[in-house]
Amino acid sequence: MASPMPPVGAMLWTWALMLGLLALIAASDYLPLGPYLPWVQFAAAAAIVILLAFFWMNLATATAAVRIAAFAAIFFLFVLTLLSFNDFLTRPMDLVPFHAPPGVPAPR
């Protein structure tokens, strides 16, 4: 109740924008985007979630504490992914005897 909802017209526009972005994600599979495909998709998905969170969950006008809570969750999910991938991404180049990939001679 902290902040009033936007007017109906604005909500309908937001909804239309979300459906447009959804159409973009769905169509992206058929567009010649090459390596940019996931980037376009995730940008569009993020835009939908941002619209949802900022205007319909009132994050735009929320108290600082609420914003910190939302930010903290996303940040620590990012940390989980980042530091785990720090392992996954460097493991193939890590030629130590106890986990050399098959076919690669272990360094002495």
Partner 1 sequence: MNAVQRARHHDVPVPPQVLHPKSYLREGSTLGSWLTTRDHKRIALLYMIAITFFFFIGGAAAGLIRLQLMSASGNLVSDRTYTELFTAHGIIMVWFFLIPSIPATLGNFLVPLMIGAKEVAFPRLNLASWYIYSFGGLLVVATLLSGGVDTGWTFYTPLSTLFSNTRVILAASAVFVVGFSSILTGLNFIVTIHRLRAPGMGWFRLPLFVWAQYTTSVIMVLATPVLAMTLLLMAFERLTRIGIFDPALGGDPLLFQHLFWFYSHPAVYIMVLPAMGVASEIIPCFARKRVFGYRAMAYAMLGIGAFGFLVWGHHMFVSGQSSYASDVFSLLSFIVAVPSAIKVFNWTATLYKGSIELTAPMLYALGFVVLFLIGGLTGLWLAATALDVDLHDTYFVIAHFHYIMVGGTVMAYLGGLHFWWPKIVGRMYPERWARIAAWLIFIGFNLTFYPQFLLGLAGMPRRYHHYLAQFQLLNQLSSTGAGVLALGYLLPLIYLIWAMRRGQRAPDNPWHATGLEWHTSSPPPKENFEILPHVTGLPYDYEPTSIGPEPPHPAGPP
Partner 2 sequence: MSTPDVQLGIPAAAQLAAEEAPAEQFGTRTNQNEATEFGMWVFLATELMFFGALLLGYAYGRHLDPAGFAEASRHTDLVIGTANTAILLSSALTMSLAIRAAQRLERGALMSFLAASALLGLLFLALKGYEYHDDIDEGLVPWADFRITGVHRGAAALFYFLYYALTALHALHLTIAIIVVLVYLVRLRGATVAPYRQQITVTALYWHFVDGMWVLLYTLIYVASPRS
Residues that bind partner 2 (CB under 8 A): 1-2, 4-5, 8, 11-12, 14-15, 18-19, 22, 25-26, 28-33, 37-38, 41-42, 44-45, 48-49, 52-53, 56-57, 62-63, 65-66, 69-70, 72-74, 76-77, 80-81, 84-85, 88-89
In whole angstroms, give the CA distance from residue 48 to residue 46. 5
Rounded Cα distance between 47 and 58, Å, is: 15
DSSP 3-state of 63: coil
Task: By CB under 8 A, name the one of 11, 38, 57, 86 that touches partner 1.
Answer: 86
When CB distances are held under 5 to 8 angstroms depending on the partner's kind, the choice from partner 2, partner 1, none that residue 61 binds is none
CB closer to partner 1 out of 39 and 75: 75
CA atoms within 13 A on the CB side of 8: 0
DSSP 31: S
Q: Which of residues 88-107 bind partner 1 (CB under 8 A)?
A: 88-91, 93-94, 96, 98-99
User: CA-to-CA distance for 82 and 76, rounded, in angstroms?
Assistant: 9
1 forms part of the interface with partner 1 (CB under 8 A): no
